[in-house]
Amino acid sequence: ALEASMTEIKEYIARLSLECTNWDQLLLHHQKEAEKISRTLEEAKIADIELDSTLYLQSSQSEILSTKPDYQKILDSQNEVFNCMEMVIDELQGSIRLLYSFMEDTTQFFKKVS
């Protein structure tokens, strides 16, 4: 009877160990899959490959990602700002020169008159 009990206990232990191993293997399998996905994306990033937008438009942040502003346009518009400022400063410079030249002329005129 003792031997039979021991055999039964050993069977239980073997069954439980096997189930443990199976669960561990399944978990490992899923973890490896996740790592593979992560590695593929990292490699694409390093190779500077543009990510397919359809990929992340399925994600929870699709709304934010689809409303991304055109940063290049913003940077390019800075040139326009400087061009505009160049014109403004030129204009101001011109106006002030004009005023000074008028004052010069007027000074000369009064000298002549006096």
Partner 1 sequence: SINPLLYETQFFGFTPQTCMLRIYIAFQDYLFEVMVAVEKVILKKASSLPGSTLSAVQIRGSTETFLRFMRERFNRLFVKMEQVLLQLVLNIPPNILLPEDRSHEKYPQGREDFHLLQQEVEQLRLRYKAELGAKHALLAELEVQKVTQARLKKTLHWFDGLGDAHGPLGLGEMMAFLIQHSGRLRSITQDVTQKSK
Partner 2 sequence: EQERENVKLAEMVLEGRKQVLELQQQIQARKQAWQMLTQVPK
In the complex, least distance from residue 24 CB atom to partner 1, rounded to whole angstroms: 17
Q: Name which position in 74, 111, 112, 114 contacts partner 2 (CB under 8 A).
A: 74
Inter-residue contact 66 to 57 (CB < 8 Å): yes
Is residue 44 classed exposed, middle or buried when 0-12, 13-18 and 19+ CB atoms within 10 A define those classes? middle
The 3-state secondary structure of 6-55 reads HHHHHHHHHHHHHHHHHHHHHHHHHHHHHHHHHHHHHHHHHCCCCCCHHH
Under the binding rule (CB under 8 A), the answer on residue 84 touching partner 1 is no
Under the binding rule (CB under 8 A), the answer on residue 17 touching partner 1 is no
State the residues that interact with partner 1 by CB under 8 A. 5, 8-9, 12, 16, 30, 33-34, 37-38, 41, 45, 51-52, 55-62, 64-65, 68, 71, 74-75, 78, 81-82, 92, 95-96, 99, 102-103, 106, 109-110, 113
